[in-house]
Amino acid sequence: MIIAIDGPAGSGKSTVARMLAKRLGFKYLDTGAMYRALTWKAMQEGVNLKEELALCQLMDQTTIEFRGKDEGLNVLVDGVNVTKKIRLPSVTNNVHFISDTPGVRHRMVKLQRKFASEGNTVAEGRDMGTVVFPDAEKKFFLDAEIEERARRRYGEFKPKDKEVSYADVIKDMEIRDKRDTTRNNSPLMKSSDAIYMNTTKLTIEEVLNLILKEIEFAVKK
């Protein structure tokens, strides 16, 4: 069984997808982490982020793996643990070069499908319901007002990182939303058969329970 969860940054989809996978005993596929992992490696190796051929070659020479589970889930690039490094602002700011490269996306999709073919999966990203898993048993599109999404993201920064202002976070999010929704390749979009959920006024537990109810309903049908 595949459960596809898509949505913009800060919609709560990562937290919910992780909790859902844990609750159901499914594998959790964080596809954003895969794009981030290749971005990290490309930056590390000084590969031109605008050169499709170089990025595709790099991808062919790179192993991206997930090890562990739940809170202990790690992302490895060629055996190196990059779980923390791929969340650095430098990676976040450059990941769009990688995620907008058709040859890279093509390769990522193959890996993502292979991952899900090996067991029940909660897959999270931007194009899970539309492109990667069009036949997923259940699809969700999580959304929230931008002010709330920025508030959540701002709240995640540790006190020492708070020289970043809330206004900066909103501005950043607007840029990411625009890039995600307007790119040529697999833009962020709700699949017509996905359940839309506005999480602005909901807690994570409320979102999780709504999703669990929908899944229960689907299994009973």
CB neighbour class for 177 (10 Å; exposed up to 12, middle 13-18, buried from 19): middle
Q: Which is nearer to ligand DC, 142 or 202 (CB)?
A: 142
Does position 99 interact with ligand DC (CB under 6 A)? The reply is yes
Q: Which 11-50 residues touch ligand DC, going by CB under 6 A?
A: 31-32, 35-36
Does position 9 interact with ligand DC (CB under 6 A)? The reply is yes
Q: Which is nearer to ligand DC, 64 or 95 (CB)?
A: 95
Q: Which is nearer to ligand DC, 102 or 119 (CB)?
A: 102
Sign (positive or negative) of CA dihedral 85, 50, 62, 128: positive
Give the tokens for residue 81: 């643990």
Three-state SS sequence of 102-169: HHHHHHHHHHHHHHHHCCCEEEEECCHHHHHCCCCCEEEEEECCHHHHHHHHHHHCCHHHCCCCHHHH
Q: Which is nearer to ligand DC, 25 or 155 (CB)?
A: 155
Minimum distance from residue 12 beta carbon to ligand DC (Å): 12
Minimum distance from residue 35 beta carbon to ligand DC (Å): 4
Q: Which 171-190 residues touch ligand DC, going by CB under 6 A?
A: 176, 180
Rounded distance between C-alpha atoms, residue 39 and residue 37, angstroms = 5
Does position 95 interact with ligand DC (CB under 6 A)? The reply is yes
Choices 61-69, 93-101, 158-166, 212-220; region in contact with ligand DC by CB under 6 A: 93-101
Strand order in the sheet with 80-81: 64-67, 74-77, 80-81
Residues near ligand DC, by CB under 6 A: 9, 31-32, 35-36, 95-96, 99, 125-127, 176, 180
